[in-house]
Amino acid sequence: MPDKRDIPHLQDTIAWLLESQTPSIRYLTLTRVKGLPEKAPEVSATRHSISSSPPVTRILAAQRPEGHWMQAKHHYSPKYKSSHWSMLLLTELGLEPENAGLQKGAEFMLAKMEKELPYYLSGQKKGFGCFWGNWLRYQLYCGKGNDARVEQAIEFTCADLERGGQCRYNSNLPCAWGVARGLFGLVLIPESSRDEKVHHAIKAGIRFLLEDHDLLAADYPADRKPHPLWFSLSFPLFYHADSLFVLRVLKELNALDHPDAQKALGWLLEKQTRSGIWRGGSPFSDRTRPFMVKPDGVERWITLHALEVLT
CB 161 within 8 A of CB 133: no
pLDDT at position 117 is 85
How many angstroms separate the CA atoms of 243 and 32, rounded?
18
DSSP string for residues in 244-291? HHHHHHHHHTT-TTSHHHHHHHHHHHHT--TTS----B-TTTTTS-GG
For the chain, how big is the Rg over CA atoms in Å? Answer: 19
CATH class, range 55-299: mainly alpha
Residue 286: what pLDDT?
86
CB 161 within 8 A of CB 182: yes
Q: What residue spans define the domains of the chain? A: 55-299
Torsional class of 134: left (φ above 0), alpha (ψ -120 to 50), beta (otherwise): alpha
| Cβ contact 292:236 at 8 Å | yes
Dihedral sign (CA 292, 70, 286, 89): positive
Write down the pLDDT at residue 256: 97
Cβ distance 299 to 305 under 8 Å? no
Torsion sign, CA atoms 60, 99, 182, 264: positive
The reply to whether the predicted model has a pTM over 0.85 is yes
Mean pLDDT, each 10-residue run in order, the chain (311 residues): 76 98 97 98 98 94 97 95 97 98 98 88 77 97 97 94 93 96 98 97 98 96 91 95 98 96 96 97 87 85 98 94
Nearest to 302 by CA among 272, 274, 261: 272
3-state secondary structure of 85: helix
| Closest of 140, 240, 93, 249 to residue 184, by C-alpha | 249
Q: Is the Cα dihedral 133, 138, 141, 145 positive or negative?
A: negative
Residues 6+ apart with CB under 8 A from 249: 180, 183, 184, 187
What pLDDT was estimated at residue 294?
Answer: 79
Where helices occur in 93-175 by DSSP H, the ranges are 100-113, 117-121, 129-141, 148-162
What pLDDT was estimated at residue 26? Answer: 98
Give the pLDDT confidence score for residue 119 in this predicted structure.
Answer: 82
Residue type, 287: R
